[in-house]
Amino acid sequence: MQFTAEQIAQLLQGSVEGDPNATVNKLSRIEEGGEGSLSFLANPAYAQYVYGTTASVVIIGKDFPLTAPVKTTLVRVADAQGAFAKVLEMYNTIKLDKKGVSPQAVISSGATHGENCYIGPLAFIGENVKLGNNVKIYPQCYVGDNVTIGDNTTVFANVTIYSDCVVGAKCIIHSGTVIGSDGFRFATGAPNGASAKIPQIGNVVLEDEVEIGANCAIDRATLGSTILRKGVKFDNLIHIAHNVEVGENTYYAAGGVVAGSTKIGKNCMFSGQVGIIGHLKIADGTIIAAQSGISKNTKAGEAYMGSPAWEASKYRKSYIHFRNLEKLVERIEALEEGK
């Protein structure tokens, strides 16, 4: 991939200061630079680097003030960070634009796929699988029988999708993730202490534009579906148990666990290592701080923290007293001794 400063300016609706024919073929941070690299400057804290950078082209805000001459070519734009994000997206699209079916892939006779698909070496595609257009299945993936995957979805290497699951359009599933493994349910209480596994015959449904990080596990439902609604975004190492529903545009940072049959609303934001017990209702817009344990239903738009968690405003006030607990105990003991 090689572009001139002029081409970049046209793409970003900006203007060139310097050599319009300066060419770039890679991206870099401004403090690293390098001949042929493209960088950006949006944060004033990094302004010092623009005067000595060896990057060939730097994207910069149209009103960003400079106090000395620069050697690099500048592309002035309305929003430097947003413009660079657009370049990153374009770069990533080109880099990941794979097509074709590897002769080393195993594709069952009843499977179908749309146009411009990529199926990498050692990928397995089961019976009656339906892949949409522009779907990318990276090497060593397993796609079980009767799975449907929508247009423009990417499944990175070593992902496992069990039978009967549904993946929507424009989804991204990162390496090591398992979709549709059994829910953790056993019939206990037999007289001899034995337990029997309850068969899990449901599936997992990912709606459009869902992204799942690396090494996540999304369990299939006992009956019906475990559902991640449109626009859900998961970080790495998240476990979603059977029959959970996660509402639209909810974000979940790494290390989270949700127990069975809990219903999570839309537009929620959960920090790392949040645990939620089963059969709860998490209201729309709920915010949960890191390492919190949720053991009761939440209120819409409320923030929670602690384990067990409660409203963040109450938690902070109580925590002040908790930190002073030793002094309070000493005062009480002194009062009792005075008696």
* Catalytic residue list: 242
Q: Which of 278, 337, 287, 332 shows the shortest CA–CA distance to 312? A: 287
CA angle 13, 16, 20 (to 5 degrees): 115
Relative to beta strand 303-306, strand 309-311 is antiparallel
Structure tokens at 11: 């793409």
3 state SS of 95: helix
- Distance between CA 232 and CA 207 in Å, rounded? 8
* Half-sphere exposure (Cβ direction) of 196: Cα atoms closer than 13 Å: 7
Q: Which of 254, 260, 256 shows the shortest CA–CA distance to 274? A: 256
Q: Distance between alpha carbon 112 and the CA centroid of its chain, in Å?
A: 28
**Contact by Cβ (8 Å): 212, 180:** no
Give the N- to C-terminal CA distance of the chain in Å, as an integer.
84
- Distance between CA 287 and CA 268 in Å, rounded? 6
Burial class (CB in 10 A: 0-12, 13-18, 19+), 226: buried
Peptide bond into 44 cis (omega under 30): no
- Distance between CA 98 and CA 330 in Å, rounded? 69
Beta bridge mates, 113:
131
Structure tokens at 74: 């500048």
- Distance between CA 27 and CA 242 in Å, rounded? 42
